[in-house]
Structures are given as C-alpha cells and as structure tokens.
C-alpha cells in the first residue's frame, strides 16, 4: 500500500460538482492499494500517516502529529483520504503507465475502507472521496510538505 501525504491548510474533493469531503487543516492523503496488500499494510500506512510529525511546534519545527494540532474549535482538522490506483503506475518502460501492480477494484476498495476505519477508530476526523469515481481534488498545500509512505518500504 502506498500513500502520498500532503500537509494542507485546506483540501476538498468534488464528484459531479458536489463536495463530498473536505478538511480545513490537516492531511490530504492519496492512497493506492497494491496486489497482495492486507490488514498489516493498512496498519502500517495508517500508523505512519496518523503519527507523521509534520506540523510545526511552538518553535516552528516540524514536530507535531495531526492529533496534537490546536486551533479554533470550529476548524475541521483531519485527513482527506482519496483513493488513487495510479500510485502503482510503473513508467519505467515506454510512456504509458503500467498499472499491473494495482489491486483489483473490489480488493482495493475493501482495504481503502479498512484504512479509513483504522484512522477513525484511532480518533481522527476522516473525510473521503468516492472510491472509483472521477474526482476533482483541490488543496492549499502548507509548506509545501509532501511525503511518501510505502508499506513494502520500497522508498
């Protein structure tokens, strides 16, 4: 399982012109499920993203995870999770990406939903896109800070 984590000031996802998920401050996480992924991959990626110390502390250093953020009580601090099978696209040969490593949609959706549940069960606000839909994602990147997580530790 792969995730691209972006620290954001705001992010939202629209499907057919309707907003289906948004956060005011937090993480935009793109998630790609690979063939052979299982619950251990969910726990690894869930923990890495939830515990990522990418928010500034009182001294301005990236030292705080999402759960330690403070701010206005009406601010929606959380994760916007967006499925993205193209994270497993292989561009090493030719110009068209090979998506052979991506999990089949049914398996991928189940593990994507398991990851969302993992975060929610650990006390995080999680908004989502719509699995398999064409989505318009908007984000105000903060920093920018962008990190990669791979449960097989390929990078």
In 74-92, which positions are buried (b, 16+ CB within 10 angstroms) versus exposed (e)? eeebbbbbbbbbebbeeee
Determine the Cα–Cα distance for residues 89 and 107; give it in Å rounded to an integer: 17
- 84: annotated active-site residue: yes
Between strands 126-128 and 77-83, the pairing is parallel
- Determine contact, residues 1/123, Cβ cutoff 8 Å: no
Q: Catalytic pick from 85, 128, 131, 155? A: 85
How many CB atoms within 10 Å of residue 4? 16
- 86: annotated active-site residue: yes
Q: Catalytic pick from 84, 128, 146, 155? A: 84
| Residues linked to residue 7 through DSSP beta bridges, in sequence order | 27
Q: Catalytic pick from 86, 128, 131, 146? A: 86
Which residues are known to be catalytic?
84-86
């Amino acid at each position: 399982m792969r995730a691209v984590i972006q620290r954001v000031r705001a992010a939202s996802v629209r499907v057919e012109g309707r907003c289906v998920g948004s956060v005011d401050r937090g993480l935009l996480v793109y998630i790609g499920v690979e063939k052979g992924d299982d619950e251990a991959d969910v726990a690894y990626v869930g923990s890495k993203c939830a515990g990522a110390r990418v928010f500034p502390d009182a001294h301005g250093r990236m030292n705080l995870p999402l759960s330690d953020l403070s701010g206005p009580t009406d601010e929606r601090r959380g994760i916007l999770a967006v499925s993205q099978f193209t994270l497993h696209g292989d561009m090493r040969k030719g110009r068209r990406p090979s998506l052979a490593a991506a999990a089949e949609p049914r398996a991928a959706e189940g593990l994507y939903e398991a990851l969302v549940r993992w975060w929610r069960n650990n006390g995080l606000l999680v908004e989502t896109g719509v699995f398999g839909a064409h989505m318009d994602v908007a984000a105000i990147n903060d920093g920018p800070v962008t990190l990669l997580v791979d449960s097989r530790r390929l990078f």
